[in-house]
């Protein structure tokens, strides 16, 4: 089943059982595909070391025994999206690091690659698509032939396997074969969905009732109830009742850190970008405009800031530049600047991720993009 979020109020009122009556997120777990057939973890000769992408800079600069000597990047632009940007840049700049990047464009990360392999776009390759917002599986058929020497990522992996002299047959399976394997799980959600029919129609809804009430027969807890007091949390040494845990940086008051960096920076999504994916599209760049920093009038006045002034936003990790947007859309003590811009299109090659920390969150091991204290100063332009 999927990871889901249900807010407390719909849980108390019971409105979660009605369409539109609760918070519902991430439907991926309802797709009963045979992921093991795709991943083939059984082919691993031994347990592989795992490094955390959000701490990529640390992995490239500090990991030892053995150190990281090669980096293979696909479907990612970490120099734009990973926290602690200066550390990531320092790691990518190592002369002894061999970096390969599969890409459509010359991203900031690709500029540090030893080899760039051109990748196909969605309209140029076959793919089986699931979702994390609905219950339809889709088949993507190429609409045009790939440009130049562009290859699908799966084909690049097949050619790498051949060049490395690997003999495992599954490494050379076609995209259609992989899709058939995924759909052959026997899971009830895929009843009536064959590869042939999916390819013919293009999309098919999973075998769930319509409308679908995911928890009609119980929740994924030992009690089968929506638990406001969780034994599972208690067993992990955590408070069994959901509550508020103060953030590491932003909640600090009367500390050296708070005095040095008095404003709390949050980095929401940009309305015209999808994370960092469309940040190089000229039309979206024009619509998005220059990088801005929303700051409350009460914080702007003592800093001599007016709307349109250029500001330098900094902390011990790094700095970036933005245009002041003086507004009460944020509360005093908080500033906001959207994520997703590419360093190469930003002043001095720096974005908001210059200031973000690469440590783990206290629960779940997530990134802490919004727990970030900074100083804001007017620049001389």
User: Tens of pLDDT along 72-86?
Assistant: 999 999 999 999 999
Tokens of 193: 């969905």
Identify the pLDDT of residue 129: 97
For residue 307, whether the previous peptide bond is cis, meaning omega lies within 30 degrees of 0, is no
**Residue 118: helix, strand or coil by DSSP?**
strand
Is a pLDDT exceeding 90 seen at residue 198?
yes
- The confidence band for 24, taking pLDDT boundaries of 50, 70 and 90, is low
Identify the pLDDT of residue 2: 40
CB burial of 349-363 (b: ≥16 within 10 Å; e: otherwise) equals: bbbbbbbbbbbeeee
Residue range 235-258: mean pLDDT, rounded: 90
**Residue 12: helix, strand or coil by DSSP?**
helix
Identify the pLDDT of residue 86: 97
Sheet holding 115-118, edge to edge: 70-74, 98-103, 115-118
Q: Which of 172-181, 238-247, 266-275 has the lowest mean pLDDT?
A: 238-247
Is a pLDDT exceeding 80 seen at residue 259?
yes
**Cβ atoms of residues 311 and 290 within 8 Å:** no
- The confidence band for 1, taking pLDDT boundaries of 50, 70 and 90, is very low
**Cβ atoms of residues 375 and 313 within 8 Å:** yes
Per the prediction, the chain carries an average pLDDT of 93
**Residue 241: helix, strand or coil by DSSP?**
strand
Residues 94 and 103: their CA atoms lie apart, in Å, by 21
For residue 206, whether the previous peptide bond is cis, meaning omega lies within 30 degrees of 0, is no
- The confidence band for 264, taking pLDDT boundaries of 50, 70 and 90, is very high
Percentage of the residues of the chain whose pLDDT score is greater than 70: 97
Identify the pLDDT of residue 23: 61
Identify the pLDDT of residue 8: 72
What is the CATH code of the structural domain delimited by 8-205? Answer: 3.40.50.740
Identify the pLDDT of residue 215: 80
Identify the pLDDT of residue 3: 39
- The confidence band for 228, taking pLDDT boundaries of 50, 70 and 90, is confident
- The confidence band for 25, taking pLDDT boundaries of 50, 70 and 90, is low
Does 88 or 227 have the greater pLDDT score? 88
**Cβ atoms of residues 203 and 137 within 8 Å:** yes
pLDDT in tens, 303-333: 999 999 999 999 999 999 999 999 999 999 9
Residues across the chain: 381
Residue range 78-100: mean pLDDT, rounded: 97
- Residue entry with tokens 């003592």: 302
Q: Phi, psi at residue 294, to the nearest 5°?
A: -80, 125
What is the CATH code of the structural domain delimited by 256-378? Answer: 2.40.40.20
- Residue entry with tokens 């936003």: 313
Strands (E), 302-349: 310-315, 318-326, 334-336
Residue range 98-105: mean pLDDT, rounded: 97
Strands (E), the chain: 70-74, 98-103, 115-118, 127-129, 136-140, 203-205, 263-266, 292-295, 310-315, 318-326, 334-336, 373-378
Long-range contacts of 232-241 (CB under 8 A, 24+ apart): 238/363
In angstroms, what CA-CA distances link 212 with 18, 32, 143, 203?
9, 16, 33, 18
| Domain boundaries defined on the chain | 8-205, 256-378
- The confidence band for 238, taking pLDDT boundaries of 50, 70 and 90, is confident
Tokens of 330: 């944020």
Residue range 292-296: mean pLDDT, rounded: 98
Residues 279 and 348: their CA atoms lie apart, in Å, by 17
């Amino acid at each position: 089943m999927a990871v889901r979020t249900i807010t407390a109020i719909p849980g108390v009122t019971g409105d979660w059982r009605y369409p539109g009556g609760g918070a519902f997120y991430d439907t991926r777990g309802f797709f009963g595909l045979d992921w093991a057939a795709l991943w083939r973890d059984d082919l691993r000769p031994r347990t592989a070391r795992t490094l955390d992408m959000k701490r990529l800079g640390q992995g490239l600069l500090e990991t030892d025994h053995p150190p990281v000597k090669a980096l293979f990047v696909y479907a990612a632009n970490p120099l734009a999206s990973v926290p602690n940007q200066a550390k990531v840049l320092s790691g990518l700049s190592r002369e002894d690091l061999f970096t390969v990047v599969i890409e459509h464009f010359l991203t900031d990360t690709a500029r540090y690659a030893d080899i760039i392999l051109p990748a196909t776009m969605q309209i140029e390759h076959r793919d089986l698509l699931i979702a994390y917002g609905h219950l339809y599986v889709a088949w993507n058929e190429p609409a045009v032939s790939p440009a130049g020497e562009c290859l699908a990522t799966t084909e690049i992996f097949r050619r790498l396997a051949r060049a490395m002299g690997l003999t495992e047959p599954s490494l050379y399976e076609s995209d259609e074969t992989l899709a058939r394997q995924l759909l052959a799980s026997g899971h009830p959600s895929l009843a009536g969905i064959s590869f042939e029919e999916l390819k013919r129609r293009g999309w098919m809804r999973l075998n769930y009732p319509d409308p679908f009430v995911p928890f009609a027969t119980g929740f994924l807890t030992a009690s089968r109830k929506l638990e406001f007091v969780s034994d599972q949390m208690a067993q992990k040494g955590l408070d069994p009742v959901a509550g508020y845990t103060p953030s590491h940086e932003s909640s600090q008051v009367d500390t050296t850190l708070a005095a040095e960096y008095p404003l709390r920076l949050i980095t929401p999504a940009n309305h015209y970008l999808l994370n960092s994916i469309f940040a190089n599209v000229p039309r979206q760049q024009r619509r998005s405009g220059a990088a801005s920093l929303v700051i409350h009038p009460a914080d702007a006045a003592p800093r001599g800031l007016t709307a349109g002034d250029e500001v330098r936003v900094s902390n011990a990790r790094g700095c970036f530049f933005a245009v002041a947007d003086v507004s009460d859309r944020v509360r005093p003590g908080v500033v906001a600047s959207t994520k997703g811009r590419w360093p190469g299109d930003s002043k001095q090659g720096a974005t908001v991720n210059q200031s973000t920390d690469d440590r783990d969150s206290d629960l779940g091991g997530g990134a802490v993009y919004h727990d970030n204290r900074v100083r804001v100063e007017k620049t001389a332009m």
